[in-house]
Structure 1
Amino acid sequence: MKISDLDVIELLDVITQAISPVLFKGLDQNTAPHLWRERVKLNAEIIGRITAVLQCGDEVGPEIHDLIELCTRNMQAGYEKSFSEVLGPGGSLSKIHRT
């Protein structure tokens, strides 16, 4: 079996679930939104880098730098959109901090 034989989406799902408890350890509804955003950004950076490597398939070449930038940027945009419902104005965590 080679990397190119793997289901990258399935693998990323497992990796994301494995690192999330470490990255978000200690955060709860009382944590300031900016701290959540910092961790989300770090999570996007890590998953973006892993995604780039996996998308290279069986050999990683010099194009990895551009691919890391692209994947990280895409992850950050996706995560920011997902978390904006919770962290943005009117989000459930923002409401907690206003009470």
Structure 2
Amino acid sequence: MKIADLDMAELIDAVGVALVPVIFKGVEKETPAYALRERARLNGEIMGRFAAVLYCGDEVGTDILELIDLFTAHMRGKHLQSMDRFLGPGGALSVLRHSPDQALRTPK
């Protein structure tokens, strides 16, 4: 079996799930939004590096640096976009903190 034989989306998802407890370890409800965003940015950086290497398949070539830049920018953007749904005015976390009975509602 080779790396190219694996389902890349499934592999990336598995790596992402494994990283979350490590990257967000120690986060509490008092953790400021900027610290959560920093961790999300770091998560995107790490995931982008993994994705770039995996994208190369069985052989990592000289274009890996360009791929790392491309994949990390994409992953950082997606992770920060996800965080924005929870942080800031109107975000799910703000709603949760200000109104416990609305904890399960999705922000508009």
Q: What is the TM-score when the length of structure 1 is the normalising length?
A: 0.91
Superposition RMSD in Å: 1.4
Identity of aligned residues (%): 51
Aligned match of 2:87: 87
- Structure 1 counterpart of 2:22, which letter? V
Aligned match of 2:16: 16
Give 5+ residue unaligned stretches, structure 2. Answer: 99-108
Please say which structure displays the higher CA radius of gyration.
Answer: 2
Quote the Cα distance in structure 2 between the aligned partners of 1:28 and 1:92: 16
Give 5+ residue unaligned stretches, structure 1. Answer: none
Do 1:52 and 1:71's aligned partners in 2 also have CA atoms closer than 8 Å?
A: yes
When structure 1 is superposed on structure 2, of 25-34 and 46-55 the one drifting more is 25-34
Q: What is the TM-score when the length of structure 2 is the normalising length?
A: 0.84
- Structure number with the higher helix fraction is 1
When structure 1 is superposed on structure 2, of 78-87 and 41-50 the one drifting more is 78-87
- Structure 1 counterpart of 2:37, which letter? R
